[in-house]
Structures are given as structure tokens and as C-alpha cells.
Structure 1
């Protein structure tokens, strides 16, 4: 049993926001109020870089109505950094700020880059003999963090993508006459977790449902094969629905956004796989091609958020506080699913250093041999994460979100130059 530590807690959000990252914040604040050893509950504005300049607010002064409202509000209520913290002097400054404000418990909500920073802070604090306890809470649109079964944020973006595919497919079906291609470009960087989520739009045992082609970064793209695949689909379907991950590459490993065939070299600069594919099809097939990019909308669609995802994000925040108060440090909250047929989820802990040193790739055996469809194993993995709907309050016909009052805590140090 560790010795009880008394002091202040500070919570940071950093990295790309998700539809449920504020639910994690709400869970942490709610749990922190239950522990007498926590004297003040602070939030760091604008991520770790904001913390370097002592941008700290008092979260205990926020109303319970606002804290509850965070659970349905997208974005990062505390704000995130522009640019990562990497230099030793930057970490030293953060530790100095934490000491000046008697922060004993530092909770960091973030993606892989943020977790790496958390691991560094924890190691430096320990080397200095500091009593600071650092706990990470996962969040990631791209489901990139290892060790944890899945990341809060992924279930909601998967639900949004699958929903968008269904809506686009209905729209395309009303227009197509064996001459229409609809392309949706999704994010995900160099992994296909987001592109694969589109397969969840298919009904069970209906492999011909849209999307008809899923183009993953893990499968090298062949222009000739692609054109032939689309041509064959249009022979039996009135339209062809395609989903492409932004990190799609050719056989040489070049991103399609920059890999331009010789016959297309005279065309305007290709800026995305969507533009590349549309241009390719218009060159080779006499068809109409329409396209859409989810872009930043995929991370802030609270109207299509998953209740399961929101609840697990909240649980992650609660568990982080419990772990910190219980004496843990240098750890990240993880999610693990039960072994029963009915989906269940529990939290655990893993080393920040272990998570920072690895990432979770999309399993190769979850991609079918045709390279353009996803196996049932992925369906079993991902579909429970999308279950349930978040009830978002509406006012005058639009969603009603909350914002923090954000009462500032007085600075105690000289201003820091971040040049």
C-alpha cells in the first residue's frame, strides 16, 4: 500500500481531438471530487505547450451542468498544443510549473505523441526524486495505441464513417445507372483503421452491400487493377461506392497524393487520393465520379457518437484518477474486453514507456485476399464499439454544447520564451 499523497491534480488534453475526449475529462473531474487527498483540480490550457507558459484554470469552479455537458461536446475543451514538446529544456520547464503549483497528480489525455511526452515527464520526475505521479489516458481516432484493446474515440469515428457510407450509398443509388462512382476519402494516416470502419456499413451476410471497394494503406494500389474492378462492379450494380484511406500507397510505397503516372503529369497537382482516383476513372471510363472528404468532420461528429465509446472514455478518466491516488505512476489506462459472447470492457494499466515505443497496426489477416474487403474478424472486433447513441440536447434546431468558464489560476513564475 503506497503512502497517501496530498496535493493538487492537473489534467491536460493534447493531440488531435475526438468526439469523446471531453467525456474522459468529465470522468476525471467527477472522480477527482471524490478524493480528499486532492486539494485543487486544475486544467492545463492548450496542451503541454500551454502548460509551459502556466496556462492553468480551476476546474473545480466549473458547474456540474458544464461538466455533464462535456460528455456530449466535441473538440478538446481545454485546448491542445500546436507542435510537440521534445526538447529537454521544455520538459524541465513543465516540471518547474508543476512544482510551483503543488501538482502531485498529472493526468494526460492524448494520442501516441502525447503518451511519449508523458513517459518522458514521468522518467524525469522519478530521476529527480519527485513525488509527481503521471497517468496517461488514451484517445485516438486512428486506434494507434498498442497494449489497449482499442482507444476511446475510435468507436465514434467508426460509427460516423459507417453512417456516412450508408447515406452516400442511398444517394448514389438514386442517381446511378451503371455509370456512377461515389468516392469517400477518410483519414487514418498510414493505417487503415478508419477505412476499414466503412465495412461496418454492410449488413451481415450481404458482401455486395456498399462500400464495394475499400482501399487500405496496407494494400499497394494498382491503377490497372482498380479501373478493372470498378468496371466489373458497374456491370452488376447501378453505382460503385468506394472508400479510400488518405495514406494509400502504390507498389513503390509512394503516397498516391504525390505518385502521379506519366499520362497525368500535365494535370494540376494531385492533392489527395480522392482527386487521384477521380482523375484516373474519368480518364479511363465514361462515367460520372463524385467524391467527398470527411476531413476534420470525422473527429467532431458528436451527433453520431457511440454511447459505448462515450461511456468508456468517461470510465478511462475515472480510472486514471483512481490509479494516481492509489500510488501508480508512469502508467496509461488501458481497455480490455471480456471473454464472454456479450461485449464487456474493463480498465487496466500499462507502462507509458511500453506504449510510447510501439503502435498498433491493422492486422493483415483482417483484410480479405481480394485486398478490397474486410473480414468478419474485424466486424466482431469493431461493431460493439459503435453500439448506442449519445443523446445530444438541441436548442433552436442545433446541438447545444458547453464551454468551460475557464477561471485562470495566478501565475507564479516568470514568463517562458518558447522560441
Structure 2
């Protein structure tokens, strides 16, 4: 008879993705299969944990069908947060409080699903545990549609968002072409991406046998020149009546200002010092309309990029599930202060596996699109970029439909 394990606690943090709950399902299923006694879920991440807000996951998941529903459910099932833990020397009391709660719940392993800031939380908690002699293990599970985490080939959530963006770009292009009889029109699409242009570059996947794809793509890695932009659009209008442009929300001028700030946006700043970016496409569409005198419109994909679980990639959902399970396995084997990563094993056929890296090499590092994956003019991505992304959008994961709509698994607080 196997010896009794202690308990696992898992939380979700940062902006959700359409597959973040597949990672949660992977944590839960693997923990139960490995004989852990209980799996607790933090409600709203470490911020909720500080208020002792948590749930026994066995009160929420009762069957394999619930696991499948959870894998297909968008947003953060447990609720998310954007809470920045202070440095250990700045506020020891917060750390004492967290470990008091972990000891009370007899937690063996703490697993956090999130992006850069969440990996910083894992770094700080694992460091504190080592310094103070606590036995808990702290493991990070990657999550971000931005695909900007270091050392991992790509992040769970990116493939599905890229699939949605590529498909939606095709639809926007078809719509624009149908509206340009005897008149010109420019469409500017705004896609998420503060400093990294992975998502915006994915719009290039819309270029297929029956679709020309977007005409221009601008990433935040390349300084944006308004005059060059205007000249290029005017040049394209000499050749075609419908122009479709993809821009990252975070494109900046050479002086470091965000383009959205030209219209007064970017004033709100979150706990991590990140400006809220919005209005980039609207500003550029208005600018082009005034300069050129033709019809313009802006399309902001906004939260649909991360919540469109009905168009999730099978590769993405399966990899998200894989890394959740791998984190439990790593904790069970004694790893601490690590993040699970996705290693690309081969491209043809595409295969991947889970690896483990020291979170100190990942936290607060940002993976940007390589300069050589953007053309010389800085207004489109190269074949290398497309070859990198294409395997990640493959396959479908059909929703479980009820009365014509997708069914989701929803937290039942009455069973907390």
C-alpha cells in the first residue's frame, strides 16, 4: 500500500487564456492519480490565499466529464489576480502569513499557473521556504497568450489565441473585400501584445490559398514610424482598394511613447507598473482617414483573443494539460523553485515534451520575436516565424454543446 501523501494547492494568476483550465485539470487529475490526499484551489490566486479563500477541488470535479468540461472552459476557473508579492525583506509578515496557511492545510506542493509575474511569485516563495527551512515545494506552470516567457519553446494559451487571430483575420479580410466596390477602405486590427509581437505576427497565418492575408503587420519590437506607415499605406492604395493592417497594442515610437498615448490612452497603471494599452487601432484609423480621406475602421480583438475556447487548438489544450500534470510530477519528485517548460522535439511531425527549468532563469525575463523573424522594412513577419507558429494551431477540440451553445464548468461556491 502506497504511503499517504499530503496536499496540493493550485492557483491561477494574471490574464487568463482559453486553455488555462486545461492546465488546472492536468494538475488535479495527476495529483489524484499520484495519491495526493487533497487538491485545494486558491480563489483569486495568492491574493485570495492571504484571505484564506480556497476550495477543495473534489467538491467541484466529480467525474471524467467534469475534467473534459474544465479543459474546454475559458477564463480562470478559480479566479485570477494581479498581485505583486513584495520582496522578502520588504514585508516578512506576508510570507509568514502565507506559510501559516500552507501549514494549516498541510500543503506539500504549491503550484501556480501564470506568466512572468506569477513565476516571480514562485521564485520568492521558494526562496523564502529554503531560507526558513519550510518543506513545501513551489512549481510554476506557464500560461500566457503573449508567448513571452523565457526558455520555454512556447506558452500554453498562445497557440489557441494565434488560431483565433488567424481565423478572425481571414474573416475581417473577406468582410472588407465585400465592402469596397468603387471605394477604398482601410481596416486596422489591434491585437494584444505589450512588448512582444507573437500574437500580432500570427495574423500572417491568414495568408492561405484563398486569402491574401493582411497587407502590413507591425510588432512592438520594431520602432513605429508614423511617416513611413502613411507612405506605405498610400503606396498600397495605388494597387488595391482594400487594405488590412495588423498592429500590436504596444507599438511604440522611436522616443518610447506608445502609439495609443497619442490619443490620450495608457494612463491607467496596474500593480506591476504596466500601462493599460487601448486605442492604438482607433488612433491609426482616424489618422489615416484624416490624411488620406478614405473610409477607415478599427477592429479591436480585445479579450476574445484569450477567451475564445470554441476555437482552441487541440495541440494547445493537450500541452496545457501536459504541463499541469508535469508540475505535480516534478513536485512529487522533490523539485522546488522550478517552472515546467515545453520543449519542441520535432517539427515534422510536430512533437513536444515537458522540461523543468530553474524559475530564477525565467522570472522577469521577456522573450521577444527575433529581429530576423521580421522583414527588413519592419512591417511583416518572415517564413521562419510562420513555420514556428503553424504547428501550434493544429487540431480542434470540440466544445460539449448543449442547446446549440458550449457548456462550461463553473465554480459552485455552495460546495466550497
Structure 1 residues 315, 111: closer, same or farther in 2, change over 3 A? same
Structure 2 residue aligned with 1:149, among 146, 150, 153? 153
Q: Which moved more, 1:312-321 or 1:177-186?
A: 177-186
CA distance in structure 2 between the aligned counterparts of 1:221 and 1:359, rounded to whole angstroms: 20
CA distance in structure 2 between the aligned counterparts of 1:287 and 1:89, rounded to whole angstroms: 60
Q: Which structure 1 segments of 5+ residues have no match?
A: 262-269, 410-419
Contact 1:66 1:403 in 2 (8 A): no
CA distance in structure 2 between the aligned counterparts of 1:102 and 1:220, rounded to whole angstroms: 51
CA distance in structure 2 between the aligned counterparts of 1:132 and 1:406, rounded to whole angstroms: 27
Q: Secondary structure in 2 aligned to 1:258?
A: helix
CA distance in structure 2 between the aligned counterparts of 1:338 and 1:116, rounded to whole angstroms: 27
How far did residue 362 of structure 1 move?
A: 1.3
How far did residue 56 of structure 1 move?
A: 1.4
Q: Which moved more, 1:161-170 or 1:66-75?
A: 66-75
Q: Which residue of 2 aligns with 1:415?
A: none
How far did residue 5 of structure 1 move?
A: 8.4
Contact 2:347 2:391 in 1 (8 A): no
Q: Which residue of 2 aligns with 1:196?
A: 201
Q: Which residue of 2 aligns with 1:212?
A: 215
1:109 and 2:116 correspond: no
Contact 2:282 2:297 in 1 (8 A): no
How far did residue 408 of structure 1 move?
A: 6.4
CA distance in structure 2 between the aligned counterparts of 1:400 and 1:131, rounded to whole angstroms: 40
Q: Secondary structure in 2 aligned to 1:381?
A: helix
What per-residue deviation string (whole Å, max 9, x for no partner) do you get for residues 102-143 of structure 1? 001111111110110111001101111111011110001101
Q: Which residue of 2 aligns with 1:264?
A: none
CA distance in structure 2 between the aligned counterparts of 1:28 and 1:222, rounded to whole angstroms: 45
Contact 2:346 2:352 in 1 (8 A): no
What per-residue deviation string (whole Å, max 9, x for no partner) do you get for residues 128-183 of structure 1? 11110111100011011101110000001111111110000000011114511111
Q: Which structure 2 segments of 5+ residues have no match?
A: 265-276
Q: Secondary structure in 2 aligned to 1:134?
A: strand
Contact 2:193 2:249 in 1 (8 A): yes
Q: Which residue of 2 aligns with 1:267?
A: none
Residues 25-36 of structure 1 aligned to structure 2 (within 5 Å): 25-36=24-35
Q: Which residue of 1 aligns with 2:6?
A: 7
What per-residue deviation string (whole Å, max 9, x for no partner) do you get for residues 274-327 of structure 1? 122112111111210011111111110011111100000000111111111111
CA distance in structure 2 between the aligned counterparts of 1:303 and 1:248, rounded to whole angstroms: 29
Q: Secondary structure in 2 aligned to 1:350?
A: strand
1:351 and 2:358 correspond: yes
CA distance in structure 2 between the aligned counterparts of 1:118 and 1:348, rounded to whole angstroms: 17
Q: Which residue of 2 aligns with 1:42?
A: 40
Structure 1 residue aligned with 2:394, among 383, 387, 390? 387
When normalised by structure 1's length, the TM-score is 0.90
CA distance in structure 1 between the aligned counterparts of 2:278 and 2:393, rounded to whole angstroms: 31
How far did residue 235 of structure 1 move?
A: 2.0
Residues 201-240 of structure 1 aligned to structure 2 (within 5 Å): 201-203=206-208, 209-240=212-243
Q: Which residue of 2 aligns with 1:247?
A: 250
Contact 1:178 1:237 in 2 (8 A): no
RMSD between aligned alpha carbons?
A: 1.9
CA distance in structure 2 between the aligned counterparts of 1:175 and 1:403, rounded to whole angstroms: 41
CA distance in structure 2 between the aligned counterparts of 1:120 and 1:156, rounded to whole angstroms: 30
In the alignment of these two chains, the number of paired residues is 395
